[in-house]
């Protein structure tokens, strides 16, 4: 198996992982819609409120955003200014992707993970709860999404860099 094949296989495994996580948390959209509907019915039809349900919507939204970000990157669906990139050759796009991953994405995500771990550890140490009396007792789980987000995006950045290297190393015409 060549280096090219190994890099491609490793990048594909990372893509499958981030896609599986992304598809799993995509169900948060359904949960958010159903819980929001329930909150509205409870409030306007029954005159009842529920901080617990409202916080559930916030948690589901955070999980969706934080855990599906790497899947979005793998699908090349992140917002990008395509003034130069859109018209660039495959090799120039690969160079931009490689430099972006190595210089910006991976270092920033690793820094975010490193800085967020003590913050999350403190939250876990006290099993941090909502400030609201009837809120969710799992703020520590919500905060855990921060390093998970950073690690998933960094790993997907590695996959993007591996793909870029395979393009740049290929003998295709420019």
Task: Over range 23-35, report the average pLDDT.
Answer: 96
Query: What is the torsional sign of CA 51, 140, 30, 151?
Result: positive
Answer yes or no: is 17 within a domain.
Answer: yes
Answer yes or no: is 174 within a domain.
Answer: no
Residue pLDDT, tens place only, 83-120: 778 888 999 999 999 999 999 999 999 999 999 999 99
pLDDT at 174 over 70: no
Residue pLDDT, tens place only, 45-69: 999 999 999 999 999 999 999 999 9
Answer yes or no: is 41 within a domain.
Answer: yes
105, 78 Cβ separation under 8 angstroms:
no
- Which residue do the tokens 């009396």 mark? 133
Q: Which domain holds residue 66?
A: 3-169
For the chain, the domain total comes to 1
DSSP 153: H
Answer yes or no: is 52 within a domain.
Answer: yes
Answer yes or no: is 7 within a domain.
Answer: yes
Answer yes or no: is 87 within a domain.
Answer: yes
pTM, whole model, 2 decimals? 0.91
- Which residue do the tokens 């703020």 mark? 139
The predicted structure's pLDDT at residue 172: 66
């Amino acid at each position: 198996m060549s280096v090219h094949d190994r890099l491609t296989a490793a990048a594909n495994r990372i893509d499958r992982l981030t896609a599986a996580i992304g598809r799993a948390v995509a169900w948060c959209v359904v949960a958010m819609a159903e819980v929001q509907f329930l909150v509205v019915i409870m409030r306007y039809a029954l005159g009842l409120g529920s901080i617990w349900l409202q916080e559930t919507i916030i948690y589901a939204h955070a999980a969706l955003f934080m855990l599906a970000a790497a899947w979005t990157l793998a699908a090349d669906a992140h917002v990008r200014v395509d003034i130069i990139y859109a018209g660039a050759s495959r090799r120039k796009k690969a160079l931009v992707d490689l430099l972006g991953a190595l210089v910006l994405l991976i270092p920033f995500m690793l820094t975010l993970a490193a800085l967020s771990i003590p913050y999350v550890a403190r939250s876990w140490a006290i099993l941090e709860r909502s400030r609201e009396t009837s809120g969710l007792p799992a703020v520590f789980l919500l905060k855990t999404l921060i390093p998970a987000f950073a690690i998933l995006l960094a790993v997907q950045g590695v996959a993007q860099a591996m793909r870029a290297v395979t393009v740049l190393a290929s003998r295709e015409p420019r």
